[in-house]
Amino acid sequence: MRKSIATVSVSGTLTEKLAAIAAAGFDGVEIFENDLLVCPLPPEDIRAMAADLGLTIDLYQPFRDFEALPPPMLAAGLERAEHKFRLMERLGADLLLVCSNVSPLAVGDDALAAAHLRLLAERAAEHGVRIAYEALAWGRHVNEYLHAWRLVQMADHPNLGTCLDSFHILSRGSDPIGIEAIPGEKIFFLQLSDAPLLAMDVLQWSRHHRCFPGQGNFDVAGLVRHALNAGYAGPLSLEIFNDHFRQAGTGRIATDGMRSLVAVERELAGAAHPCVPTGFAFTELAATGELREVLGALGFARTGSHPSKPVELWWQGGARLLLNDTGGDAALIAIGLDSPDPGGAVKHAESLLSPVLPRERAPEEVPLDAVAAPDGTEIFFCDTAWLGDFGPGAPVPGQITGVDHVALTQPPHYFDEAALFYRSVLGLRPQESLELPDPYGLLRSKAMSTGSGVRMVLNIAQVGAGQTPWQHVALACTDLLAIARELRAAHPELLLPIPGNYYDDLEARHEVSPELRELGVLYDRDEHGEFLHLYTVTVGRVFFELVQRVGGYQGYGAGNAPIRLAVQHAGQPMMGG
Amino acid sequence: MRKSIATVSVSGTLTEKLAAIAAAGFDGVEIFENDLLVCPLPPEDIRAMAADLGLTIDLYQPFRDFEALPPPMLAAGLERAEHKFRLMERLGADLLLVCSNVSPLAVGDDALAAAHLRLLAERAAEHGVRIAYEALAWGRHVNEYLHAWRLVQMADHPNLGTCLDSFHILSRGSDPIGIEAIPGEKIFFLQLSDAPLLAMDVLQWSRHHRCFPGQGNFDVAGLVRHALNAGYAGPLSLEIFNDHFRQAGTGRIATDGMRSLVAVERELAGAAHPCVPTGFAFTELAATGELREVLGALGFARTGSHPSKPVELWWQGGARLLLNDTGGDAALIAIGLDSPDPGGAVKHAESLLSPVLPRERAPEEVPLDAVAAPDGTEIFFCDTAWLGDFGPGAPVPGQITGVDHVALTQPPHYFDEAALFYRSVLGLRPQESLELPDPYGLLRSKAMSTGSGVRMVLNIAQVGAGQTPWQHVALACTDLLAIARELRAAHPELLLPIPGNYYDDLEARHEVSPELRELGVLYDRDEHGEFLHLYTVTVGRVFFELVQRVGGYQGYGAGNAPIRLAVQHAGQPMMGG
């Protein structure tokens, strides 16, 4: 299917937008009027630039507050439209989006509205222009897509059809099945956006919080399916108003939009994710002496070394860490995922526009392909062969059973991109999404999981506190209190100190062992089970969490995160300075 | 009246918060539980620290989801409360805020709720604790303040009273007059916050967008008056949840909170602003050669010099500019306001905690006192004597009649502080507040005015685009087209180029003279009249606008600002580099 995007969806000047949209592989654009008005180039030059870039101009938008005004105002509206038709001729655009009237002067009279729309379509026809009439979710009288379609039917002009917009339909909770009642050729245009479910005024929701399909909570692909069933054959066009997209990189957001449409197409084709990862093969850390000290205290030890790179395998139980002497600060730099089909996983990632990373290796080594996650972390797809590079070592015995989850701080403005990456490229599904206070702002946190095996937590400084790009690896164990006792006895300086006030509150809420307080272990419970966890101090950008899930506990102890954040911000004793 | 503030209202650790709150002059604090939980100090130390700082702990909060749960859950709730009572004894707090239950398990049974509250009060009494019961605006069954009061009456225990919160009352549109029906001694606590009017879920509105009294749209002082009429004698206590306050300077926000309460007290005392400025005496600019060139082109010329400082007076018609050779980039550094009582204005500003700036001057010079505005601009209060410093010069003839308005970019997170400063310290009233797109974000813009004489526009990069702290001086004239013709002929390079596409759109909307397009003049109209304006290029941080108001036009041409912003961002020919 052809793919298009409204220029308002990305940042920059109109020429920057068009270049980035073309580079991302779109077939066409909607020209958003304000982008044109502020552009120093005349319409003819924009037309030529789009043509040079291989972009069709699929829509000019929006034309507002026209239909069903008191009849004396009709002439002025038609005159205004004539100006736009002439402009569109210069621009080489033949489809105009007309939004349902929001003016308090508009009259709630379907016959009048339809008559006006017919007049408009007649005038448009003289210029070779067609009109796509859309119900805004906050239209004064027309705010349901089937109402807009009814008016189009009443007006009955070949140059008049309807425009469907997933936000305007789904934000109102309307059932999109009614789309199938509209003849496909009368659906002149289809605009797609997703959004998180927010309880707020729909106009503000629309203007600030739309996002690409797959980044929010709407079933956008399901809506597209109805349009295809109706016979719609036009482009899928993204139209996003989003505060983060406005200030993010133009090319990066355009590419992410394309990724979202490819994912919609895959979903429409009924394609299951070809190779959902089944577990963490390894996590790779830029290592320092201090990091080795913490890992040693946690019972890890070197069990192998890479033949040609300064990389060691530290393996305990089911948890494998690669320590890479990069010379830099301690940081999490790569994640290896157990994949049922590593080659297929890379192809899948590539089809979703994920950059496949060049990989240097000696000929005798095991090939490993990686893609870059939005925060720069390298994601490897592995079968078990990679372990061969590190020799015949076996895991050291210990109480760590594996990696429970990995938490990564996302770069500003790219949280939605990250959510879409982990969902579409890796096959993780969104779990809880939370807002957590720290002393200088609010953290947004979103958990994603395959359901078994791979859990990720994406964090971002939503309000303030942007200077703390912490990453952490949560290690699973079956007897956290035993480990905590050993650590507390041997290496108390490596554990994050937890305020006594936390335990006063915890004991007011739950009956818990006094040992939690003595050991600095945090506690949570849900309706499925219990969660015990503790944190190490931070080394470079990294800290470790030890977690024990009891029963079927589903969460991540997020309610305790503000405690951790406050202690971390207050500056716990950092190793090595 | 005693003044208090909840620790959640400012950023930082609990110890940072307490120090800043004391330094701002508050008498007491509400300890917000999460601030205590994340604090490494035990309650006894926090108590001692507050005492050392001269702060009373007026309230501990919040205790949630207690009343009207199914009876089997009562014992657990009372047990939880016992923990909190013991904590409060350690903390030295004797008043506990209990919020109306939001749990889906809560029962809509007033008798049950009252019985539970009575039990709680009985237990509290054993610890010397009193209970202040508050209706949250989103409480499951109790969400109106008079409903909470009814339950307090039913429970009928001396240790049980009600807490009133202006947000919870006014956000629901409840009439605060009912407060006067509550005996003052049963109003155990009064929490104050303001908020802008937003159409959104009240919980999200409350958690992110509260602000200090005078910064939003609520009549907070009116509500306080009802409480005083009822006989309330406790503290006025600020409780703010605000995304900007969370990341702003702790001391600065605490001081701003104190300013807001002083302003509330003034309003309660019926004190009119003692000396609202009547006009712009001067605007002072850090000058460069390029700036002089622009001003010369606009018809200004030097008419005097300061005897001891490198400051010149450039005076045309009713507009006086001071050019100060600071050696730095061109910038607006001070504003002189015509004041009916300069000494009184400074005293008033000082009473509102505005920093009075030290002023060095020679003994023979005219004394001029200034305060610092939130963005660092110096605000001088003037009678006409200051002109004497610049000798006997008279204005050069010209078409500029005065300063129409001054627009200043506010520092991040301090927009609300600026609004309160201009309102309370200078006596300006808020006008329109708008959100304007630029190519890389959204600008928030708020106009304020005395109604005549002094108009200010406060701008802030709300989304992205934070690196453009532009300032501008809008000069009034009576024949803008005449000036534009001269400028276009003699200095076309000094005028901001306006895209032709803007005029295509303007001509579609209004019948305007084609001369606007030729001259690069922008146009707006409202129901009162018309507005013609044009912009110069930017020099340093400053540009100039020429404006002509026709009829009773009230606005600032804000609809055209996105055009200006796009051209400015695209990089118009900057003078001198």
Question: What domains are there in chain B, each with its CATH number?
Answer: 3-268 (3.20.20.150)
**Does pLDDT of B367 surpass 80?**
no
Chain A closest-CA separation from residue B66 CA (Å): 12
Q: What is the pLDDT of residue B573?
A: 40
- Find the angle CA(A146)-CA(A64)-CA(B512) to the nearest 5 degrees: 165
Cross-chain residue pair A11–B440, CB shorter than 8 Å? yes
Residue of A nearest to B501 (CA): A37
Cross-chain residue pair B505–A33, CB shorter than 8 Å? yes
Confidence of residue B467 (pLDDT cuts 50, 70, 90): low
Chain A positions in Cβ-Cβ contact with residue B12 (cut-off 8 Å): 439-440
* Token couple for A439: 């002393």
Query: Rounded to whole angstroms, how far apart are CA atoms B326 and B310?
Result: 8
Least confident of A199-203, A499-503, B159-163, B304-308: A199-203
Query: Rounded to whole angstroms, how far apart are CA atoms A243 and A259?
Result: 20
Cross-chain residue pair B36–A501, CB shorter than 8 Å? yes
Cross-chain residue pair A38–B440, CB shorter than 8 Å? no
Q: What is the pLDDT of residue B361?
A: 60
The number of angstroms, rounded, from the C-alpha of B219 to the middle of its chain's C-alpha atoms is: 15
Confidence of residue A574 (pLDDT cuts 50, 70, 90): very low
Q: What is the pLDDT of residue B368?
A: 75
What DSSP line would sit under A178-228, residue for residue? GGGGS-GGGEEEEEE-B-----B-HHHHHHHH-B-TTSSSS-HHHHHHHHH
Chain B positions in Cβ-Cβ contact with residue A500 (cut-off 8 Å): 40, 42
Query: Rounded to whole angstroms, how far apart are CA atoms B357 and B355?
Result: 6
**The three-state (H, E, C) secondary structure of A266-305, written as one string:** HHHCCCCCCCCCCEEEEEEEECCHHHHHHHHHCCCCEEEE
Chain B positions in Cβ-Cβ contact with residue A200 (cut-off 8 Å): 199-201, 204
Q: What is the pLDDT of residue A466?
A: 52
Cross-chain residue pair B83–A441, CB shorter than 8 Å? no
Cross-chain residue pair B83–A507, CB shorter than 8 Å? yes
Percent of chain B predicted with pLDDT > 70: 97
Residue of A nearest to B564 (CA): A38
Q: Would you say B507 is a known binding-site residue?
A: no
Q: What is the pLDDT of residue B560?
A: 96
**Does pLDDT of A481 surpass 60?**
yes
ipTM score assigned to the predicted complex: 0.90
Percent of chain A predicted with pLDDT > 70: 97
Least confident of A55-64, A423-432, B17-26, B154-163: A423-432
Chain B positions in Cβ-Cβ contact with residue A439 (cut-off 8 Å): 11-13, 16, 38
pLDDT in tens, B312-324: 999 999 999 999 9
Residue of B nearest to A85 (CA): B508
Chain A closest-CA separation from residue B562 CA (Å): 7
Residue of B nearest to A566 (CA): B38
pLDDT in tens, B121-167: 999 999 999 999 999 999 999 999 999 999 999 999 999 999 999 99
Confidence of residue A364 (pLDDT cuts 50, 70, 90): low
How many CB atoms are located within 10 Å of the residue A466 CB?
A: 15
Cross-chain residue pair B567–A11, CB shorter than 8 Å? no
Confidence of residue A467 (pLDDT cuts 50, 70, 90): low
Q: What is the pLDDT of residue A115?
A: 98
Q: Which of B442, B463, B505 sits opposite A37 (nearest CB)?
A: B505
Q: Would you say B239 is a known binding-site residue?
A: yes
**Does pLDDT of A363 surpass 70?**
no
Query: Between helices B250-268 and B14-23, what is the axis angle to 10°?
Result: 40
Chain B closest-CA separation from residue A377 CA (Å): 25
Residues that constitute the known binding site of A for Mg(2+): 405, 472, 545
pLDDT in tens, A34-61: 999 999 999 999 999 999 999 999 999 9
Q: How many CA atoms lie within 13 A of B545 on its CB side?
A: 25
> To which H or E segment does residue B255 belong?
helix B250-268
Chain B positions in Cβ-Cβ contact with residue A42 (cut-off 8 Å): 500-501
Helix, strand, coil content of chain B in percent (nearest 5): 35, 30, 35
Cross-chain residue pair B37–A13, CB shorter than 8 Å? no
- Amino acid, single-letter form, for residue B295: L
**Does pLDDT of A491 surpass 80?**
yes
Chain A positions in Cβ-Cβ contact with residue B41 (cut-off 8 Å): 499
Query: Rounded to whole angstroms, how far apart are CA atoms A491 and A498?
Result: 15
Chain A closest-CA separation from residue B43 CA (Å): 8
pLDDT in tens, B86-113: 999 999 999 999 999 999 999 999 999 9
Integer-rounded Cα Rg, in Å, for chain B is 28
Collapsed DSSP state (helix, strand, coil) of residue B502? helix
Chain A closest-CA separation from residue B54 CA (Å): 23
Cross-chain residue pair B508–A80, CB shorter than 8 Å? yes
Q: What is the pLDDT of residue B9?
A: 97
Chain B closest-CA separation from residue A566 CA (Å): 6
Cross-chain residue pair B38–A441, CB shorter than 8 Å? no
Higher per-residue pLDDT: A455 or A441? A455
Residues whose CB is less than 8 angstroms from the CB of residue A73 and which lie 6 or more positions away in sequence, other chains included: A105
Query: Rounded to whole angstroms, how far apart are CA atoms A208 and A231?
Result: 32
Q: What is the pLDDT of residue B440?
A: 86
Confidence of residue B457 (pLDDT cuts 50, 70, 90): very high
The rounded mean pLDDT for chain A is: 94
Cross-chain residue pair B40–A570, CB shorter than 8 Å? yes
Q: Which of A87, A499, A509 sits opposite B38 (nearest CB)?
A: A499
Q: How many CB pairs lie under 8 A apart between chains A and B?
A: 147
Chain B closest-CA separation from residue A361 CA (Å): 41
Chain B positions in Cβ-Cβ contact with residue A251 (cut-off 8 Å): none
